Amino acid sequence: MRNLHLGFDSSTQSLTAVVIDLDHRTVIYQHAIDFHADLRQFGADHGILRGEDPAVVHAPPLMWLEALDILFQRMRDDGVPLGEIRSIAGSGQQHGSVYLNDTAPQALATLDPARSLTENLAGIFSRPTSPIWMDSSTTRQCREIAQAMNTCGGIIQATGSAAIERFTGPQIRKFWQKEPHAYAETRHIALVSSFMCSVLSGKIAPIDPGDGAGMNLMDIRTFQWHPAALEATAPGLCEKLPPLVPAASVVGRVSAYFVHRYGLNPDALTVAWSGDNPCSVIGLGLIEPGMVAISMGTSFTYFGTMADCRVDEHGEGHVFGSPAGGYMTLNCFKNGGLARARMRDRFNLDWNGFREAVLQTPPGNHGRLMLPWFEPEIIPKVHRAGVKRLNLSEDDAGGNCRALVEGQIMAMRLHAGLMNTRPTMIYATGGASQDRYVLQIIADIFQCPVRRSMISNSAATGAAFIAARAFHATINWADIIRGFEPDADKTVKPDPATRSTYDALLNAYAALEKEALKEDRQR
Quote the CA–CA distance of 288 and 305 in Å, as a whole number.
7
Q: For ligand XUL, give the closer residue by CB, 116 or 277.
A: 277
Convert residues 203-232 into a mask of x (bound to ligand XUL by CB under 6 A) and - (unbound). Answer: -----------x------------------
Q: Taking Cα atoms as reference points, which of 84, 110, 448, 479 lies closest to residue 291? A: 448
CB of 296 to ligand XUL, least distance (A): 11
Contact positions with ligand XUL (CB under 6 A) in 299-358:
299, 301, 330, 332
Closest separation in Å from C-beta 46 to ligand XUL: 13
Does 12 help bind ligand XUL (rule: CB under 6 A)? yes
Q: Which is nearer to ligand XUL, 58 or 86 (CB)?
A: 58
> In the window 250-289, what residues touch ligand XUL (CB under 6 A)?
275-277
The residues, any chain, with a CB within 8 Å of residue 29's CB and separated by 6 or more, are 17, 18, 19, 75, 78, 80
Report if residue 166 touches ligand XUL, rule: CB under 6 A.
yes
133 binds ligand XUL per the rule CB under 6 A: yes
Residue 16 interacts with ligand XUL (CB under 6 A): yes or no:
no
Which residues are 34's β-sheet partners?
14
Residue 133: CB minimum distance to ligand XUL, A: 4
Quick check: 138 binds ligand XUL (CB under 6 A)?
no
In the complex, least distance from residue 505 CB atom to ligand XUL, rounded to whole angstroms: 26
End-to-end CA distance of the chain: 63
Tell me the closest approach of the beta carbon of residue 299 to ligand XUL, in angstroms: 4
* Minimum separation from the CB atom of position 132 to ligand XUL (A): 8
Cα 217 to Cα 229: distance, rounded to the nearest angstrom: 5
Interface stretch with ligand XUL, choices 91-99, 232-240, 346-354, 414-422 (CB under 6 A): 91-99
Query: Cα dihedral sign for 274, 490, 354, 422?
Result: positive
Which residue in 58, 86, 95, 388 binds ligand XUL (CB under 6 A)? 95
Q: Which residue from 94, 233, 429, 457 is in contact with ligand XUL, where contact means CB under 6 A? A: 94
Q: Is 240 in the site for ligand XUL (CB under 6 A)?
A: no
Q: Which is nearer to ligand XUL, 49 or 392 (CB)?
A: 49
126 closest CA partner among 54, 187, 48 = 187
Q: Is 49 helix (H, G, I), strand (E, B) or coil?
A: strand
Q: How far from the centroid of its chain's Cα atoms is residue 91's Cα?
A: 8
Establish if 93 lies at the interface with ligand XUL (CB under 6 A).
yes
97 binds ligand XUL (CB under 6 A): no
412-415, long-range: CB within 8 Å, 24+ apart, which pairs? 412/294, 412/300, 412/302, 412/331, 412/333, 413/445, 413/446, 413/506, 414/506, 414/509, 414/510, 414/513, 415/302, 415/316, 415/317, 415/331, 415/379, 415/380
Measured on CA atoms in the order 377, 380, 381, 384, is the torsion positive or negative? Answer: negative
Nearer residue to ligand XUL within complex by CB, 331 or 365: 331
- CA 156, distance to chain mean position in Å, is 20
Q: Provide DSSP, 80-131.
A: --GGGEEEEEEEE-SS-EEEE-TTHHHHHHT--TTS-HHHHHGGGBSSSSEE
Residues 422-461 touching ligand XUL, rule: CB under 6 A, are: none
Gap between the Cα atoms of 215 and 366, Å rounded: 42
Kindly tell me which residue out of 4, 7, 11, 387 binds ligand XUL, with binding defined by CB under 6 A: 11
Nearer to ligand XUL, 137 or 301 (CB): 301
Residues that bind ligand XUL (CB under 6 A): 11-12, 93-95, 133, 166, 214, 275-277, 299, 301, 330, 332
